[in-house]
Amino acid sequence: MKSNELVGKTKDELNTKLVDLKKEQFNLRFQKATGQLENTARVKQVRRDVARVRTALHKQAGAKKA
């Protein structure tokens, strides 16, 4: 996911995306613990996507205050 994909989304859409990514991150951690994880790079991708979504949410919150 690119950060410019998140620019036009609403707060609700971003929150939904964040919840989905957190669920995926949880499932990946379980797969890793049980030895079933095949794509180890996906863990890093999801972690960074979570950070991108949180950054977009904070930018929206800051823009509304100004």
pLDDT at site 66: 61
pLDDT in tens, 1-36: 888 888 889 999 999 999 999 999 999 999 999 999
pLDDT surpassing 80 at residue 38: yes
Alpha carbons 42 and 63: distance in angstroms, whole number? 31
Q: Which residues span the domain enclosing 10? A: 1-62
Q: What are phi and psi of 35, to 5 degrees?
A: 80, 15
Domain of 27, CATH number, reads 1.10.287
Split at pLDDT 50, 70, 90, the class of 43 is very high
Alpha carbons 33 and 57: distance in angstroms, whole number? 31
pLDDT at site 20: 97
Write the DSSP symbol of residue 9. -
Report which residue type is found at 38: E
Alpha carbons 29 and 50: distance in angstroms, whole number? 15
- Please tell me the total count of domains within the chain: 1
